[in-house]
Amino acid sequence: MLRACRRLLRPGGRTAFFTITVTEGLSPALHRRAVHQGPRAVASSRPQPELLRRAGFTDVVATDVTEEYLRTSEAWVAENERYRDDLRPPDPEGYDQRLDDNRMGVAAIRDGLLRRWLLVARRPGD
């Protein structure tokens, strides 16, 4: 997918995106917990900056925005709990499951298992 994105950019064009990763260096048990509590794509086996470089991007910059991610995730859960009675009726079980999943995600971020990154990279000028 990253190679296709590079081909779509004009020479010198940039791409930017956010990604969530498992913190490096975790024990196998903590790594499994992070994968279980994080979003589906969190289990990537290679660092995103490496994947960007392998796809032909240059000037790759990764900025850790985990603290902001934690504050946003905590606020999201708090507001969903606050307005639970208004938001829950169409799909009560699904709503409760999503809220539980988000609570687990917040716990994983707080425990240092998940990181969020802003990645910016450039297609080389041809």
Percentages helix, strand, coil for the chain, rounded to the nearest 5? 55, 20, 25
Q: How many domains does the chain have?
A: 1
In the numeric block, which tokens belong to residue 124? Answer: 């080389």
pLDDT of residue 126: 65
Mean pLDDT by 10 residues, the chain (126 residues): 92 95 94 90 83 96 98 97 90 92 96 96 90
Predicted pLDDT of residue 78: 97
Strand 58-64 versus strand 114-122 pairing type: antiparallel
Indicate the residue type of 68.
E
Residue 98: per-residue pLDDT: 92
- pTM, 2 dp: 0.86
Which CATH number fits the domain that encloses residue 111?
3.40.50.150
Q: Burial letters for 7-28: b for 16+ Cβ neighbours within 10 Å, e otherwise?
A: eeeeeeeebeeebbbbbeeeee
Task: Tell me which residue range forms the domain holding 66.
Answer: 2-122
